[in-house]
Structure 1
Amino acid sequence: MPELVVLTEQLLAPVPGGTGRYTRELAAALAATAPEGWVVSGVAARHRNARGAEVDGLAGSRMLPLPRRGLTLAWEYGVPLWPGGDVVHAPTPLAPATARRGGVLVVTVHDTVPFTHAETLTPRGAAWHRAVIKRAARKADAIVVPTDTVAAELAEHAPGPARVHVVGHGVPDVLRTPPSAEAVASVVAAHRLPETYVLAVGTVEPRKGLDVLIAAMADPGAPDLPLVVVGPTGWGGVDLRALAAQHGLPPGRLRVLGPLTDTELAVVLHRATVLAAPSRAEGFGLPVLEAMAVGVPVVHSDAPALVEVAGGAGVAALREDPADLARALTSVVDSPERAAAMVDRGRTRAATFTWAHAAESVWRLHLRLLTEKRAR
C-alpha cells in the first residue's frame, strides 16, 4: 500500500507557533482526502513522550531513531536518513537532504524572513533556515509556499531547480463555527474578557510587531479600547507589560492571555472588535485569514504577504509606524458602516481558503511527481 509520510516534528517544538498549526491542519486534511489505497502516516524525532505529534486521521505516528537535535544535525549535514514512505511532505524546512531513489520529497517554505528580516530571528536560527531552504531549492522535488509573495522572494534569495507551487492555508472548523453560549460564558469568566477590544494573535517575538501595536494603542489617535494579546512567548525577550509602561498605556488596557486552546481562541476571536496584525514580515498570516473567516474586521501592516492574503478586505497600515496603525484602527472602530463592509468582504475572501483545498493541491503535486519519477 503506498504511503505518504508527513513530518510532524514541529508539533513537538517548545513553541509550535503558526507552523505547528499548519502541520496539524494539513496532515489531518491530507489524511481525509487521501486517494483510494493510500495511507498517511506521521513521523517525528525520538521523544520520551510523542503524544503531541498525534494527528486525527493519520494511520499511525512513528519515531525516528534520533532525538530532535540529532535529527536536525543529521539532515543538516546530509545524512541519508529517509523517514519511510513513497512520498514525504515536510511542513517545515526540517527535512531529509534529498529524496531516496524513487521517492518524492516536497518541502513547505513558509516565508523568506531568514533572508529579508534576519534580525527578527536568532543568528543561529536565521543561518540554519537560510542553509536548509537553499538546500531544498536545490535538492527537493518541489517546494510549497503559501503566497505569491513568498514565491517571488524565494526565486530571488534561494533559486534552484525545485518546482515552486503556491498553496494557501485554511481555517479550522473549530474557529469558523460560532462558539456555544456555554463556551462563551466559561472563557469570558476565566479570562475576564472585556466587552470590546482590539485583538492580536501570534507568538510574542520581535517579528510580530507587537511593540509597534502597543505604541499605537498608547497614541492619542488610537481607539479607547483594551488590547488583548493571545499567543505563546517566543524568543527575543519581548515584554509586553514593560512596553506598555514605557509607552504610557495604562495596565488596565492590556490583557496578555498567553497560549489558548482552539476552543478558547474561537471565543476570543469571535468577540473581538477588530484584529490587529502589525507584523514586520510574514509568509502568510493565519490570524488575518481566521479573523476574516469569523467576521472580524482586520487592520494589518503593509507586509506584502499580509496585503496579498487580505486581498483588499482589510485596512493596511505602514510598518513601524504607530501613529498610522492607530489611525487605521480608529478608522474601523469609529465607523460601524465601514467595519460591516469589511466583514462582508473578509468572509467572501476567506471562503476561498480551506484546508481541504490545500490538501487536494498537495496531493496532486505529490502524485504527479511520483508518476514522473516512476516513468523515468
Structure 2
Amino acid sequence: MQHLPVLVDATSIPPNRGGVARYISGLLAGLQETGSTVDVVVKRADLAWLRALAPEHRYHQAPGWTARRPARLVWEQTGLPALLRRVGATTLHSPHYTFPVIRASRTVVTLHDATFFSDPAAHARTKVAFFRTWTRLARRFARATVAPSAATVGELDRLAGTARRPTAVAHLGVDAAVFHAPSSAEVTAFRHAHGLGDGDDWIAFLGTVEPRKRIPELIAAHRALGDADVPPLLVAGGLGWDDTAVRELRTAGDRPGAPLRYLGYLPLEELRAFLGGARVVVYPSTAEGFGLPVLEAMACRADVLTTRRLAIPEVGGDAVTYTDPDAGPIRADLAALLADDPDGPARTARRDRAAARAAGFTWAACARVHLGVYATGVAA
C-alpha cells in the first residue's frame, strides 16, 4: 500500500448513510483496491462502519460536537485546516460542496449535481442559496473540482460561472458485493418479511421523496393502470420535501395487500432483493447528477424504467427503458413492460444488458480518476 499525503473529510456522512455516504465509502474502498491509502477524518458514529469497509486507511475522529450540522460547518473552517497540518497532508478532499476557505488552494471539492441552478424549484430556497454559493466558491477558488458525470459538468459550465480549471468526471461505482442479482431464497425472504405472498410481484421505487423524483406522477400512473393484476407499487427511501408525495405515502402507510405501500428505509442487505426481485424498478427523475439508484438496480439485474434527463443516459445506456416524467408516458411505458412475459426473451435480454453495463462502473475506476486529480500539483 502507498500512503498518500491526502486527507479525506468524511464528516458530511448523514445519519442514514445514504447519498454522499455511498460516495465516500465507495471511494475509500476503491482507493484501497488500487493500493492507495489516505488519512480520513470521520465522526465517531461512522468510524467503525468506515473502518470495517476500508480498514487500510488512517482514521481520525472528529470532535463529538460535529454531529450537529451547523457546528460541523464551523469546525470545517477552523479545526479541519489544523488537522490537515497535523497529519502532514498536502491535499484535502472535501467530498460534499463545502470546504475550508483558507485552504482552498490545497482542496479538491466534489460537486454532485447542478440542479440547484437548473431546477431550483426542486429544492428548499435556503438550500438553493447555500449550495449555489459553495458551488461557485469551489469552482473559483478550489485547486480542483470533481463531478460524477459529464452532464453535470456541462450544466455547471453553463450555469455556475467560470471555473478555475476544468472539472474532472469521475463516474460513481457500485459495490458488487452488495448489489448483484439476488438469489431466489433472498427474494422469497423479502416477500415473507414484507407480507407479500409466494410468487407475488411488485413495482419498486428507491430514493429520497423529493420533487424531482416525480413520485406523485408515478403514483398516478400506477393507479391509472386500473387492473387488479397490476403489482403493487412499493416505495422505499427517506421522506423528503415533496409535500404531495409525502401526504400520499403517509396515508398509504405499509399495509400488505394495498396497491401502494411506503416501506421507509430498507436495510442495505435487503436492497438487492427489493430491486432485483421487482417486476420493474421505476425511477422517473427529472434531474440527476449521476443516478446511483439506477445503477444499483441495474447491478441487481433489474428491469429499469427511467428518464433520459441529464446524467441518467450516461449510466443506463441501452440497458434500460426510457420514459418521460409525466403520468401518461409513465403509465404507457410501465404497462408495456408489465405486458412482457416475466421469463420471456425480451425481459431477460434487458436484465442481462443491465447487469453487464453495471459491471463497468467500479469504485476502483472512480478512485483512479481521483488519484489523478490528487496528483495535479500542490499549491504552496
- Identify whether the pair has TM-score above 0.5, normalized to the shorter chain: yes
Counterpart among 286, 291, 294 of residue 292 in structure 2: 286
Q: Post-superposition shift, 1:80?
A: 8.6
Query: Is the Cα contact below 8 Å between 2:196 and 2:257 reproduced in 1?
Result: no
Q: What residue is the counterpart of 1:306 in the other structure?
A: 312
* Gap change, CA 1:292 and 1:183, over 3 Å in 2: closer
Query: Is the Cα contact below 8 Å between 1:170 and 1:355 reproduced in 2?
Result: yes
Q: What residue is the counterpart of 2:283 in the other structure?
A: 277
* Gap change, CA 1:334 and 1:181, over 3 Å in 2: closer
Counterpart among 172, 175, 178 of residue 172 in structure 1: 175
Distance 2:231 2:184 in 1: 24
Query: Is the Cα contact below 8 Å between 1:205 and 1:238 reproduced in 2?
Result: no
Indicate the SS of the match to 2:134.
helix
Query: Is the Cα contact below 8 Å between 1:43 and 1:64 reproduced in 2?
Result: no
Counterpart among 361, 373, 378 of residue 365 in structure 1: 373
Q: Post-superposition shift, 1:257?
A: 1.2
> Which is further off, 145-154 or 260-269?
260-269
Q: Post-superposition shift, 1:346?
A: 1.6
Counterpart among 114, 117, 135 of residue 115 in structure 1: 117
Distance 2:16 2:268 in 1: 15
Q: What residue is the counterpart of 2:127 in the other structure?
A: 125
Counterpart among 202, 205, 210 of residue 205 in structure 1: 210
Distance 2:75 2:10 in 1: 17
Q: What residue is the counterpart of 2:33 in the other structure?
A: 32
Indicate the SS of the match to 2:21.
helix
Q: Deviations over 1:205-248 (max 9, x none)?
A: 222211111011011378812111111222344545626979xx
In the TM superposition, what are the counterparts of 1:1-376 in structure 2 within 5 Å?
2-11=4-13, 13-35=14-36, 39-44=37-42, 49-51=45-47, 54-55=50-51, 56-57=53-54, 58-63=57-62, 67=66, 68-73=69-74, 81-82=80-81, 83-84=83-84, 85-97=89-101, 99=103, 104-158=106-160, 159-179=162-182, 183-193=186-196, 195-220=200-225, 224-240=230-246, 242=248, 252-319=258-325, 321-336=326-341, 337-367=345-375, 369=376, 372-373=377-378
Distance 2:165 2:301 in 1: 38
Q: Post-superposition shift, 1:99?
A: 3.1
* Gap change, CA 1:221 and 1:326, over 3 Å in 2: farther
Q: Which amino acid in the other structure matches residue 146 of structure 1?
A: P
Q: Which amino acid in the other structure matches residue 209 of structure 1?
A: R
* Gap change, CA 1:284 and 1:95, over 3 Å in 2: same
> Which is further off, 339-348 or 349-358?
339-348
Distance 2:65 2:331 in 1: 49
Indicate the SS of the match to 2:224.
coil
When normalised by structure 2's length, the TM-score is 0.84
Q: Which amino acid in the other structure matches residue 33 of structure 2?
A: A
Distance 1:69 1:120 in 2: 23
Unaligned runs of 5+ in 1: none
* Gap change, CA 1:187 and 1:172, over 3 Å in 2: same
Q: Which amino acid in the other structure matches residue 228 of structure 1?
A: L
Distance 2:71 2:196 in 1: 43
Q: Which amino acid in the other structure matches residue 43 of structure 1?
A: V
When normalised by structure 1's length, the TM-score is 0.85
Q: Post-superposition shift, 1:359?
A: 0.9
Query: Is the Cα contact below 8 Å between 1:141 and 1:163 reproduced in 2?
Result: no
Query: Is the Cα contact below 8 Å between 1:174 and 1:262 reproduced in 2?
Result: no
Distance 1:123 1:73 in 2: 22
Q: Post-superposition shift, 1:364?
A: 2.1
Q: Post-superposition shift, 1:185?
A: 4.4
Query: Is the Cα contact below 8 Å between 1:221 and 1:327 reproduced in 2?
Result: no
Q: Which amino acid in the other structure matches residue 219 of structure 1?
A: A
Paired residues in the alignment total: 358
* Gap change, CA 1:2 and 1:171, over 3 Å in 2: closer
* Gap change, CA 1:278 and 1:244, over 3 Å in 2: farther
Distance 2:189 2:320 in 1: 30
* Gap change, CA 1:183 and 1:341, over 3 Å in 2: closer
Q: Deviations over 1:187-221 (max 9, x none)?
A: 33222245211111101222221111101101137
Indicate the SS of the match to 2:201.
coil
